[in-house]
Amino acid sequence: MPELHIIENARIVTAEADFNGYLVSEGGRIIEIGEGKAPERGHDFGGDYALPGLVELHTDHLEVHFMPRPKVEWPALPAVLAHDAQVIGSGITTVFDALRVGNDFDEEKFGARMKKLANAVAEAKQAGLTRAEHFLHLRCEIACADVVEEMEPFLTDENLKLVSVMDHTPGQRQFTDVSKWKTYYGGKKHASDAVLDATIEKRQAVWEKYGTVNRLEVVRLCQQHDIAIASHDDATIGHVEEAVRDKMHIAEFPTTVEAAQASHAAGLKVLMGAPNVVRGGSHSGNVSARALAEEGVLDVLSSDYVPQSLLMGAFALRDVPAVGGLAGAIRLVSKNPAEAAGLTDRGAIEAGRRADIIRVTLVDDQPVVRAAWREGKRVA
């Protein structure tokens, strides 16, 4: 018989409310939630929060472990496991590892490297080595000649659940203001104005040749293989109309209030970066996530490049009236992203859902993960 697992003396946060109480799981599923004292003794949370395991849809942090320095490639499986340890330590029990395909004209091809990482994720999952559950999110840079070629080997990977259609061409979307592109990439590459101007000209020429045709083909392949699609860096109403036409599900990192409002109204789930919340604004000068939360059009947070920011960002937004208190803030990092990706079996403390639970305490008003369970089994 499956073993009962009882959590008692916890501040339970469901999708709608938070209260002092208990929960019971059996066979990896939640079977009972209640206020007050548990029916029998269990794992005493000592008044700490019991939250649903966090669901992360867009983190490119795995690449940091795989390529920790320029031209340094770490062994793929240890890189996956190091990333997994950081993810679960941040309270994330389901993670979509974002891998980029599409090569810039001035960089060596790395699609094979990304496939090596994807294979390592699959190997680690099959061997039961990962503590969080890992899926793949393919970031397709459409202004690259070879993006479709590099995308195709991933289409048969059963872990691929989400594709984002990206365009970082200077003059487009996030970088409508070309000077922002020069500031951002000039800082990264330490390049002169002359080199940056030449790069801008080349990238814009590549976009003119490939951008539209690649977008259409990436979308077609996703629809053919029933893969959820996200737009990226929408800046205008026209961008949103394009996303709606292409039957996209998620609007990642819209750069303006207008684009976010239009996406939300059209039924796309608006996703913003939790580092944006923690830092108090966008690193590239675009709209802040808090501003969208205050407008009531923020649906999902993503840790983007700092896994720990996901929980921090949720707690930082619990005071925004339109978010709906702590329960609403936690929905941004659990139920909403899970359901946006089609995972209706997790993301909430609710009878029948997976017993993906994290224990969280506050230290100087910052959330700290003390323990984590996935499908009722302690994993951290």
Convert the pLDDT of each residue in 255-270 to its tens digit.
999 999 999 999 999 9
The answer to whether residues 217 and 300 belong to one domain is yes
- Inter-residue contact 30 to 353 (CB < 8 Å): yes
Which of 113-127, 200-214, 269-283 shows the lowest per-residue confidence on average (mean pLDDT)? 200-214
Look up the pTM and report it. Answer: 0.91
- CATH value at residue 109: 3.20.20.140
3-state secondary structure of 375: coil
**Percent of all residues in the chain with a pLDDT value above 90, rounded to a whole number:** 77
Q: How do residues 136-195 score in pLDDT, each as one tens digit?
A: 999 998 888 889 999 999 999 999 999 999 886 665 666 666 666 666 666 555 667 777
**311 close to 56: Cβ distance less than 8 angstroms:** no
Does residue 228 sit in the same domain as residue 324?
Answer: yes
- Provide the domain limits for residue 364: 1-52+348-380
| 84-88, 111-115, 200-204, 294-298: the lowest-pLDDT one | 200-204
**Could you tell me if 361 and 330 lie in one domain?**
no
Residues 180 and 36 in one domain: no
pLDDT of residue 175: 66
- For residues 41 and 30, the answer to whether their CB atoms sit within 8 Å is no
Which among 249, 372, 377, 233 is positioned nearest to 311, based on CA atoms?
372
Are both 36 and 158 inside the same structural domain?
Answer: no
Residue 207 pLDDT: 72
Whether residues 75 and 187 share a domain: the answer is yes
Strands (E), 60-205: 92-101, 133-141, 160-166
pLDDT tens per residue across span 284-303: 668 999 999 999 999 999 99
Query: Between 39 and 134, where is the model more confident?
Result: 134
Spacing of C-alpha 3 from chain mean position: 32
Does 83 share its domain with 168?
yes
Residue 118's beta-bridge partner residues?
A: none
pLDDT of 28 higher than 80 = yes
Residue 380: CATH number of its domain: 2.30.40.10
Tell whether 45 and 144 lie within a shared domain.
no
Same domain, 145 and 31: no
Residues 137 and 246 both lie in one domain: yes
Mean pLDDT of 56-65: 94
CA angle 224, 227, 231 (to 5 degrees): 110
Query: How distant, in Å, are the alpha carbons of 66, 95, 101, 108, 117 from that of 113?
Result: 9, 20, 10, 11, 6
* Confidence (pLDDT) at 249: 94
Return the pLDDT at 280: 87
> With contact defined as beta carbons under 8 Å apart, do 264 and 256 qualify?
no
> Do 156 and 252 share a domain, yes or no?
yes
Q: Residue 154: phi, psi to the nearest 5?
A: -85, -15
For position 145, what pLDDT does the model report?
Answer: 83
Judge if 292 and 373 occupy the same domain: no
Report the candidate in 292, 305, 231, 222 with the shortest Cα–Cα distance to residue 261. 292
Please compute the mean of the pLDDT values over residues 235-257 and round it to a whole number: 95
3-state secondary structure of 352: coil
Number of structural domains the chain divides into: 2
Q: What pLDDT does residue 367 have?
A: 98
pLDDT at 4: 87
Q: What is the pLDDT of residue 140?
A: 94
**Mind listing the pLDDT tens digit for each residue in 335-375?**
999 999 999 999 999 999 999 999 999 999 999 999 999 99
Specify the length of the chain in residues.
380
pLDDT of 56 reads: 98
